[in-house]
Amino acid sequence: MTDEVTAPGHSRIHMAFGMDFLTIPVASIIPLKTLPPDIRLSRTYSQILTSIKAIGHPIESPAVTPDTTNAERWFLLDGHLRIEAMKELGFTEVECLLAPDDDTYTYNKRVNRIPPIQEHRMIARAMERGVSSSDIATALNVQVEAVLRRFRLLDGISPEAAEMLKDTPCSMKVFDILRQMTAVRQIESADLMIGQNNFTVMFARALRAATSENQLVPNKRGKKEGRATPSGQQIARMERELAALQTQVKSVEETYGIDNLHLTVARGYITKLLTNNRIVRWMETHQQDYLCEFQKIAETDPLGSIAKETNT
């Protein structure tokens, strides 16, 4: 198989992996990082170990790259926990993805984690085919109650809202909150969450708090008694403010890069001016206010402050 393909407008696109799986002896795979001593006590490792026991191989194949100095040795790029679990279980061979480049930092970012709704559908399909909840719980290394809760995830959820949220990372608690609303309000809330790209429990609770009494499921209304219920005018005002905020955010996103570039160029020019002693002396005499503002601009470092916040 070739590891390059042709695409319209491009000469060659380099593929990150080979097209076929490669069966490699576990003993020939060299990890590129050392795992913590207590990693076997972690829940993630336990789940991987249990799933390999249940199906006989890792759900996601490890990624390796060949050692150019030794044809019988392979460097492990991704899947260190999987390989460790297979060693513990006594596996001698494993199917791997072959990567032509030694790129160790991108794979976890490229993995698409299964959304809760898709997980629910997989569990429902398995149970429809006769797999017991206890067997699924054993394979996933979770309690049977957790499997049953995932199985009932969409009970009381509008099919339209479920379709809208099927590929989103909404937690089960978010669906518990949506279940307290009527079908129409669930669709509205799902649309707001998607528009804001915010699928947190806090945002779902805020949407429920802004839901009028007649848009709550009757048997859930009692939970709201004793609390101040927003009036229709307050809800309308909140929706207008939210729409205005969305517009402002999109406007800032569109102009942020250009504005930051202009600020950087202007700051560089002003900094260069302030290195000229003659200009500084003249401004001290004739335009002292401007000089103070120029000095403040020269001292700002927006990109540096952002980098510091990112690193903390």
In a domain, 117, yes or no: no
Residues 155-209 have pLDDT tens digits of 999 999 999 998 888 888 999 999 999 999 999 999 988 988 888 888 888 888 8
153 vs 217: CA distance, rounded Å = 17
CA 118 to chain centre: 16
Please identify, among 110, 138, 161, the residue that sits at the C-terminal boundary of a domain: 110
Last residue of a domain, one of 79, 110, 141: 110
Residue 11 within a domain: yes
Question: For the chain, how many structural domains are there in total?
Answer: 2
Q: Which residues pair with 98 in a beta bridge?
A: 64
Helix (H, G, I), strand (E, B) or coil at 267: helix
Q: What mean pLDDT comes out for the span 64-90?
A: 89
Nearest to 186 by CA among 169, 213, 164: 164
Q: What is the pLDDT of residues 213-228, one digit of tens each?
A: 888 988 654 444 445 5
Q: How far is CA 266 from CA 55, 235, 298, in A?
A: 61, 44, 9
Report how far apart, in Å, the C-alpha atoms of 120 and of each of 113, 232, 282 are.
14, 36, 73
Helix (H) or strand (E) holding 262: helix 232-274
- Residue with token string 């060949």: 66
| Residue 163: closest CA among 139, 141, 187 | 187
Residue 211 in domain: no
- 19-62 pLDDT per residue, tens: 667 899 999 999 888 888 888 888 788 888 887 887 788 878 88
The answer to whether residue 18 sits within a structural domain is yes
Q: Is pLDDT at 237 greater than 90 in this prediction?
A: no
CATH code assigned at 58: 3.90.1530.10
Q: Which domain holds residue 291?
A: 255-311
User: Taking the mean position of all CA atoms in its chain, how far away is CA 278?
Assistant: 54
CA–CA dist 181, 237 (Å, integer) = 20
Q: Is 243 a member of any domain?
A: no
* pLDDT of residue 128 exceeding 70: yes
Angle at 127 between CA 122 and CA 128, to 5 degrees: 95
Last residue of a domain, one of 83, 110, 137: 110
| 116 within domain boundaries | no
In this prediction, residue 165 carries a pLDDT of 92
Instruction: Please give the average per-residue pLDDT across 133-153, as a whole number.
Output: 83
Comparing 242 with 160, the larger pLDDT belongs to 160
CA dihedral 158, 159, 162, 164 (to 10 degrees): -110
pLDDT tens digits for range 260-283: 788 888 888 888 888 888 888 898
Which pLDDT belongs to residue 203?
Answer: 87
Residue 168 lies in a domain: no
Q: Which helix (H) or strand (E) holds 30?
A: strand 29-31
- Tell me which residue of 71, 48, 62, 59 sits closest to 95, measured CA to CA: 62
| pLDDT score recorded for residue 107 | 54
Q: Confirm whether 190 is domain-assigned.
A: no
